[in-house]
Amino acid sequence: MPTVSTEDYLKQIRKLQEGAARVSTSALAASLGIADASVTAMLKKLAGQGLVSYQPYQGVTLTEKGEAFALRTLRRHRLWELFLVRHLGFSWDRIHEEAERLEHATSEALEAALDRALGFPRLDPHGDPIPSHDGRIEECTGAALTALPTGALARVRRVADGDPELLRHAGRLGVVPEASLEVRERFGFDGSLRVRVGGRDRFLSAEVARHVFVDLLEARDG
Amino acid sequence: MPTVSTEDYLKQIRKLQEGAARVSTSALAASLGIADASVTAMLKKLAGQGLVSYQPYQGVTLTEKGEAFALRTLRRHRLWELFLVRHLGFSWDRIHEEAERLEHATSEALEAALDRALGFPRLDPHGDPIPSHDGRIEECTGAALTALPTGALARVRRVADGDPELLRHAGRLGVVPEASLEVRERFGFDGSLRVRVGGRDRFLSAEVARHVFVDLLEARDG
DNA sequence: GCATCGTTTTAGCCTTGGCTAAAAATATCT
DNA sequence: AGATATTTTTAGCCAAGGCTAAAACGATGC
Ligand SMILES: [Mn+2]
Ligand SMILES: [Mn+2]
Ligand SMILES: [Mn+2]
Ligand SMILES: [Mn+2]
């Protein structure tokens, strides 16, 4: 049985591994808020358990076993996030820290019960894919909203879940997964946008637009 | 913030304190499944935090602060138990170990959300009282089923939650809180009973009857 | 009143997962 | 290449929460 720390390390390594093949000690330490030296020590333990492949000075990668545990924790995390929103009335900017704890207190049976109660969902409230029970996970598709031309029609697919304040802001504007929007105007000098969403015109800063990912429905001139 | 161990110790001390004023090191150790020496060490730490009053060789009692934490954990435990039954389809004999972990992963906000989703319940699935948010808890009333005379009509108030097998058995017989029953026959030699419950006659061993607590509705001759 | 017995504490050890400061390895720049 | 800067590891420390074995305490019995 992995510990809470083990689960959080593996989950974080997996996240950092997207894009870069090897994860550096310092990157992992910074993202976990833990001292570099402590991470070095932990990586040796994880390697000893066959959860990561670690060579001194060369960073880490997850083994198959490590990735399976990482995905199991991520699945529980995202099931809880959706459950908190749908069944307990939480707003999507308050669920991350709750799920961060609940994911470690979730048995196989509870995971299955959550999944069933939610109708075997494929996406969490932020639009991120929920890994399947047997460890498959869909790719995150969708282009950043910043990439859309004026006049484009698109559907929001996902909003990056890193910053609760950004989530609360986007949520108030109606920029949530499944929402349709149209790019009305682009301000090149600062990268901000005016979009039509939920029957209203909204201004989105570049900072917000960078964190919103969409599927293009139609590109037309404005 | 108390740790998981702290919460479990305080909860257990409170439980053992019912009936006996002071709780002995060995009783606590035995009930937690931890070595006596480890408990001695932990009690010193808890005393240092003002959570228990501890004098060497004299056992412990909870302080006001300690009792407040104990009741908070117990509240979360019982809210989760009820939630698992009502909203996640668990049976009442499988909820204890789940709640034993979830109780420690529950924020103030989550506690409140559970309470609301359940309609501010007063009893858990076993009929045990749920402490209020401000730390009040009702007494466990009700007489043991073994004490009822033949012909008595009663309503089940509570079933002792110590043994999952007993719970599963009682559940299958329909002996659950709120169920009405009538004592049809008493077998003095072994203390077992025949009762009418849920439209059927059921035999209850003394072992089961000892763990079922009822409110007497009417005592009449059979 | 003193020896014995069970309970409790002390002593010494362990693992987990943190920390800081210093040393070593790697990367970068001239 | 050599000097310097950055990254990573090592060394040594700590607190929490366990363990066993031995010593001390307190209750009991004679
Ligand atoms: Mn976590
Ligand atoms: Mn999410
Ligand atoms: Mn617990
Ligand atoms: Mn209960």
Q: Note the pLDDT tens digit of each residue in A11-56.
A: 999 999 998 889 999 999 999 999 999 999 999 999 999 999 999 9
Residue B66's nearest CA partner among B41, B81, B79, B48 is B48
Q: Which has the higher per-residue pLDDT, B1 or B139? A: B139
Q: Nearest 5°: phi and psi at B185? A: -160, 145
Q: Please give chain A's pLDDT, 222 residues, in tens.
A: 899 999 999 999 999 999 888 999 999 999 999 999 999 999 999 999 999 999 999 999 999 999 999 999 999 999 999 999 999 999 999 999 999 999 999 999 999 999 999 999 999 999 999 999 999 999 988 899 999 999 999 999 999 999 999 999 999 999 999 999 999 999 989 999 999 999 999 999 999 999 999 999 977 654
Q: Do B98 and A110 touch (CB under 8 A)?
A: yes
Which pLDDT score is estimated for B64? 97
> What's the whole-number mean pLDDT along residues B192-216?
96
The model's pLDDT over B70-106, given as tens digits with 9 standing for 90+, comes to: 999 999 999 999 999 999 999 999 999 999 999 999 9
Which pLDDT score is estimated for A20? 84
Which pLDDT score is estimated for A107? 98
φ/ψ bin of A59: left (φ > 0), alpha (ψ from -120 to 50), beta (otherwise): left
- CB of B36 within 7 Å of some strand C atom: yes
Burial class, B145, CB count within 10 angstroms (exposed 0-12 / middle 13-18 / buried 19+): buried
CATH of A4-62, one of 3.30.565.10, 3.40.50.300, 3.40.50.970, 1.10.10.10: 1.10.10.10
Residues of A in contact with B117 (CB under 8 A): 87-89
Fill in the amino acid letter for A8. Answer: D
Query: Where exactly does CATH 1.10.10.10 map onto chain B?
Result: 4-62
CA distance A117 to chain B (A): 7
Closest residue to A87, CB basis, from B97, B107, B117: B117
Inform me whether the C-beta atom of residue B109 falls under 8 Å from chain A C-beta atoms.
Answer: yes
Q: What angle do CA B184, B187, B190 make, to 5 degrees?
A: 145
Q: State how far the Cα of B146 lies from the Cα of B214, in Å rounded to an integer.
A: 10
Q: State how far the Cα of A152 lies from the Cα of A194, in Å rounded to an integer.
A: 12
- Supply the DSSP symbol for B211: T
Closest residue to B101, CB basis, from A87, A105, A113: A105
Inform me whether the C-beta atom of residue A16 falls under 8 Å from chain B C-beta atoms.
Answer: no
Which residue is closest, via its CA, to the C1' of C21? A37
Show the DSSP H helices in chain A as ranges: 4-17, 25-32, 36-48, 64-88, 95-102, 108-117, 164-173, 206-209
Which pLDDT score is estimated for B220? 67
Q: Do A109 and B98 touch (CB under 8 A)?
A: yes
Which pLDDT score is estimated for A221? 58
Q: How many Å apart are B126 CA and C21 C1'?
A: 56
Which pLDDT score is estimated for A142? 86
Which pLDDT score is estimated for A222? 44
Q: State how far the Cα of A102 lies from the Cα of B88, in Å rounded to an integer.
A: 15
Q: State how far the Cα of A14 lies from the Cα of A35, in Å rounded to an integer.
A: 19
- CB of B3 within 7 Å of some strand D atom: yes
Which pLDDT score is estimated for B218? 76
Minimum-distance nucleotide, CA of B38 to C1': D18
Minimum-distance nucleotide, CA of B7 to C1': D17
Query: Quick one: which ligand is closest to A95's CA?
Result: 2
- Average pLDDT score over chain B: 95
Query: Where exactly does CATH 2.30.30.90 map onto chain A?
Result: 143-219
> What's the whole-number mean pLDDT along residues B139-161?
93
For strand C, which residues in window 29-58 of chain A come within 7 Å by CB?
Answer: 33-35, 37-38, 41-42, 45, 57
| Close Cβ partners of A75 (under 8 Å, ≥ 6 residues apart) | A111, A130, A131, A132, A133
For strand C, which residues in window 55-94 of chain B come within 7 Å by CB?
Answer: 56-59
CATH of B143-219, one of 2.40.30.10, 2.30.30.90, 3.30.300.90, 3.30.1380.10: 2.30.30.90
Q: Do A114 and B89 touch (CB under 8 A)?
A: no
Q: Confirm if A14 and A70 have CB atoms less than 8 A apart.
A: yes
The answer to whether residue B222 scores a pLDDT higher than 60 is no
Q: How many Å apart are A38 CA and C18 C1'?
A: 7
> What's the whole-number mean pLDDT along residues B16-44?
96
Q: Confirm if B151 and B117 have CB atoms less than 8 A apart.
A: no
Strand C positions closer than 7 A to protein CB: 7-12, 16-22, 25-26
Minimum-distance nucleotide, CA of B37 to C1': C9
Q: Do B105 and A102 touch (CB under 8 A)?
A: yes
Q: State how far the Cα of B177 lies from the Cα of B196, in Å rounded to an integer.
A: 15
Q: State how far the Cα of B51 lies from the Cα of A9, in Å rounded to an integer.
A: 33
CB proximity under 8 Å: B 21-80 to A: none
Residues of B in contact with A84 (CB under 8 A): 110, 113
Q: Confirm if A201 and A184 have CB atoms less than 8 A apart.
A: yes
Percent of chain A with pLDDT over 90: 91
The answer to whether residue B183 scores a pLDDT higher than 50 is yes
Residues of B in contact with A110 (CB under 8 A): 84, 88, 98
The answer to whether residue B20 scores a pLDDT higher than 60 is yes
